[in-house]
Amino acid sequence: MVRLYLLLFVLIVAVTVETGAETEGKRKELSSLRKTVRDFSSIDTNYIEPQHYNFTVMGQTTATYEIYTLKSSTGQTVTLAPDVIMKVGPFFGWRWFFLGYTFDLRNISFGGKKQKRELDFSIYSSKIGIDLFYRRTGSDYKIRDVWMGDDVDVTRLEGVPFDGVSVGISGFDIYYIFNHRRFSYPAAFSQSTCQKRSCGSVIAGVGYTKNSLELDYTKLQKAVERNCEPNTVKIDSGLMFNSVDYYDVNVSCGYAYNWVFAKNWLFCASGAVAFAYKHSDGDMNEKKDFNFSFDNVNIDGIGRFGLVYNNTRWYAGASAIIRSYNYRKSRFSANNTFGSLNVYLGYNFGKKKRYKNK
């Protein structure tokens, strides 16, 4: 019996020691995870003032714009764009999480025109930025500019509504900020920090994008015949397609600079060039070739601009993001440029413990 008790005692001690070792191992893992998370927000406080508050509320007005240009191999060009759309809505934030919704009363659908669908979502830490975007156009495009030949009068065609096109784009960009301890993207675009001294940084990233284009070329031909002189002009065969999807994987590099021109004021300008490799599916009668070719490499671009006033409690400003995507094949080329302008006013509250006495 004594031996049995002794055996049980030894087992209990062994389990306790093993459990303690496992607990210590878990503590080390949690400590390593916390360190990694903190490292994502690591900053030099001589250049950047961290966020003092846990919560924020904000009102924002957003203007979105898009322009699509199609060009055939013979030079015929059609530029399409909807009217600028204005949206308004409230936002609420808690630390890294920021949720909100903007709505446009003009585009509430009651079974009439196809409604636009747009989603733009960005996450900015000191080191890494992530952009997600999803857009599907409505049916409210207008013909903004046309060239059908030197001897063709297209004056009456400009500004004509055209519902024969549908455009979609979705994808993501991930980029790394090299000088992340001294340069703050969040100060310019998410108002979660304040840039105290002017500073810039090289940025680099990768991304993926899918573009879809549907064109009713018979409607385009009829619009040309009704509004052009002479009315016998024919659109080029390069523009006679129903749909095409093209996909690209890109590598980008650029530079961003935060200019602190007065106390609590900041102006940010950022630009990046992306080298994108594209391939397509559709009814373009193009020869499909999935082997690498420099003919499938195009140059895209993205620009970001921001003007901010932020005294840590109140903040206000404007920001703009503009993207441009290019696609070229032997029969036709396309350029899709879209962007948004945000004007906002916000208030931070719920001071963090370490700032309560400041």
CATH code (residue 223):
2.40.128.100
**pLDDT at residue 291, rounded to an integer:** 44
Q: What is the pLDDT of residue 9?
A: 47
Q: Is 303 exposed, middle or buried (0-12, 13-18, 19+ CB in 10 A)?
A: middle
Same domain for 167 and 92: yes
Domain count, the chain: 2
Q: Are residues 10 and 93 in the same domain?
A: no
Does residue 217 belong to any structural domain of this protein?
yes
Q: Which phi and psi angles does 199 have, rounded to 5°?
A: -165, 155
Query: Contact at 8 Å (CB) between 258 and 304?
Result: no
* pLDDT value of residue 34: 56
Q: How distant, in Å, are the alpha carbons of 195, 200, 214, 312 from that of 179?
A: 13, 7, 42, 23
Residues 197 and 88 in one domain: yes
Domain assignment present for residue 153? The answer is: yes
- Do 84 and 154 sit in the same domain of this protein? yes
22 and 154 in a single domain? The answer is: no
Query: Which residues on adjacent β-strands are paired with residue 142?
Result: 81, 161
For residues 207 and 347, membership in a common domain is answered with yes
* 151 and 29 in a common domain: no
Same domain, 293 and 225: yes
The answer to whether residue 19 is domain-embedded is: yes
Which domain covers residue 12, as residue numbers? 1-40
Which portions of the chain are predicted below pLDDT 50?
1-11, 13-15, 17-18, 21, 109-112, 285-294
pLDDT at 153 (0 to 100): 86
- Determine the pLDDT at residue 245: 84
CB 300 within 8 A of CB 336: no
Q: What is the per-residue pLDDT for 109?
A: 47
**Residues 214 and 270 occupy one common structural domain:** yes
Q: Please state, as a whole number, how many other Cβ atoms lie within 10 Å of the Cβ of residue 346.
A: 19
pLDDT score for 206 = 94
Q: What is the 3-state secondary structure (H, E, C) of 187-234?
A: HHHCCCCEECCCEEEEEEEEEEEEEEEEECHHHHHHHHHHHCECCCCC
Share of the chain above pLDDT 70, in %: 78
Contact 214, 242 (CB under 8 A): yes
pLDDT at 39: 59
Are 134 and 5 in the same domain?
no
Pairing type for strands 142-147 and 77-81 reads: antiparallel
Evaluate whether residue 3 is within a structural domain.
yes
